[in-house]
Structure 1
Amino acid sequence: MHTQRAAQPAGDEETADWSDRRADARRNHERIVAAAFQVFAERGLEATIPEIAARAGVGKATVYRSYPAKTDLVDAVIRRRFGQIEERVRTALAEPDADEALARLVPDIFEAMAANRLLAEVMYEQPHTGRSRVGELLGTLLDAAKVHGRIRPDATIADLSVLAGGSARQLARMRITDPAAWRRYGELVVTAFRRS
């Protein structure tokens, strides 16, 4: 005997369909961002959308739906990376000895850049609101460190940007990826700010 299934209201089918699509879109978006973090870390600004799409297991069109241009995806990744660094700098600012906090923070940032080409390429080069916030906070930490008398009184955030940025760019160009090597240069940058 054939039993007829109760017809589901059209509205419910549409809701279920869109709900599935939204969940699918969210999953794809998460995979794209995760892939972008990996590929940009490995290849820096040379990374391409097709590479990111392949790593995420989606088509290029899926990436372009969320990020119409590569710069949009770069910006999203940079924003998150700078957010992480900003948290780390704020933690350093909360420490009682700003000089010691600065001496640990700069090598930590260098070590983070060793594993992330994109971060190394944009940290001290490309203008970005996240970078500006990090720069302001680093300037505050540098000024606080001067109070302890072990940092040159004429040291500025521009000096830190020039020394750290120049080192980071050169290490990235030389394709040095050893975190210990990057950390050593971070320590050398801090030493340059010490009173003789």
Structure 2
Amino acid sequence: MTEVTHRRTDARRNHERVVAAARELFARAGLRVTVPEVAAHAGVGRATVYRSYPTKDDLVLAIAQESFADLASWTRSAVDSDMPLSAYVPDLFARLAGDHGLAEAFLEGRLVPATDLLTLIGELTARAKATGEVRGDLTTVDLRVILCGPARQLIALDEWNPAAWRRYAAMVVTALRHPR
């Protein structure tokens, strides 16, 4: 193996370690994790991180894009399997509670355009309206406010207990139903 090939292999391995470390730390502690913390967790120097990600925002964006792609794929599966919105919401809240970085990025819409995700959630909502699962006057804006309000507050309160997120997911589901 030539030295150049060896360096490329090392660089690729280090890059993978940086991405894995960033995903793990962002999931556990949110977007306030620093580049030096990511580098230390990956077992590389800061320069190694900055070579691939010149700013922390670049690193956050890369990890957030992966997380959003995973979330969109999962949501696509929910749409394809006819998952009711009343089952999707608690599962969504559970995912957000378990990944602080994803939750924060989800609410920071400027970081990653979530249009695909919102379109998929819109499909779930349209089906729920058609089947009478939710109130007929529910709009996309209503859904965003009702979903993001509790999530934003739980994040602001630094509340990551999954039971608390499940409790508020149940309240959101109740709020989506037809008034009695």
Q: Tell me the SS of whatever aligns to 1:127.
A: coil
CA-based RMSD: 1.5
Unaligned runs of 5+ in 2: none
Partner of 1:10: none
Write the distance in 2 (CA, Å) between the matches of 1:102 and 1:156: 14
Tell me the alpha carbon deviations over residues 72-125 of structure 1, each in whole angstroms, 9 at most, x when there is no partner. 1101111111111111111111124xxx52111111111111122212212133
User: Which residue does 2:173 correspond to in 1?
Assistant: 190
Indicate the residue corresponding to 1:94 in structure 2.
80
Residue of structure 1 in register with 2:68 after alignment = 82
Q: 1:144 aligns with which of 113, 127, 134?
A: 127
Gaps of 5+ in 1: 1-14
2:149 counterpart letter in structure 1: G
Identity of aligned residues (%): 46
CA contact (8 A) 1:113 1:120 kept: yes
Q: TM-score, with normalisation over the residues of structure 1?
A: 0.86
| Equivalence for 1:125 | 108
Runs of 4+ off more than 4 Å: none
Contact 1:125/1:165, CA 8 A, preserved across alignment = no
Do 1:44 and 1:121's aligned partners in 2 also have CA atoms closer than 8 Å?
yes
Structure-2 residue corresponding to 1:180: 163
Return 66-75 or 36-45, whichever deviates more. 36-45
Q: C-alpha separation between the residues in 2 aligned to 1:125 and 1:165?
A: 11
Distance in 2 (alpha carbons) for counterparts of 1:125 and 1:72? 15
**How far off its partner does 1:162 sit?**
1.1
Query: How many positions carry a matched residue from both structures?
Result: 179
Deviation of 1:41 after TM superposition, in Å, equals: 1.5
- Which of 46, 49, 62 in structure 1 is aligned with 2:48? 62
Q: What does residue 7 of structure 2 align with?
A: 21
Match of residue 8 from structure 1: none
Structure 1 match to 2:28 = 42
Correspondence for 1:106: 89
